[in-house]
Amino acid sequence: MTAVQQAGFTAVGSDWLCAGDITYDTAARVLASARVLPLPVSGSILCSGLNLIDSTAVAVLVAIKRRAAREQKPLRIVDPPPSLCALAQLYDIEDLLWAPSQTIQLSERAGINPP
C-alpha cells in the first residue's frame, strides 16, 4: 500500500513544490496552502509532483498568478504535466500561465484598459 500524498504547495528551498491531486474536491485546500506561504523567492512553482488534475487546477494557478501580479513578483510554472498544458491550451491561457507574472497584466489578458 502506498501513502497518499497530501495535495498542496510547500516551500522547498527558494521554490514552491505543487504536488498531489488538484481537483474539485481538493482545490480549496490546495489554494489555502498557497495563501499561507510567501511567494517563492526564486519565482518558480515546480509542478512535477502533480498527479490527477482537472480544470480547478487551472483556476488555482490563475489565482496564484494574480496574487504574484498584485505583489509585482515574477512567477513561473515549471514542469507542468501534459494534462495541465492541454487545459491551458483549451482555455487559451497559455501565455497567462507560462509567462512570468510581471510581463502580462491581467487587464491586458481580459482586453480591459485600466483607468
Q: For position 43, which CATH number holds?
A: 3.30.750.24
Residue 50's pLDDT is: 94
Q: Which domain holds residue 96?
A: 8-109
Q: Is 13 left (phi over 0), alpha (psi -120 to 50) or beta?
A: left
The CA angle 32-26-2, to the nearest 5 degrees, is: 115
**Number of domains, the chain:** 1
Instruction: Indicate whether 59 pLDDT > 80.
Output: yes
Q: What is the chain's mean pLDDT, rounded?
A: 84
Task: Give pLDDT tens digits for 88-107.
Answer: 999 999 988 887 654 334 44
Query: Which pTM does this prediction carry?
Result: 0.81
Closest CA to 76 of 110, 25, 107, 41: 41
Instruction: Indicate whether 22 pLDDT > 50.
Output: yes
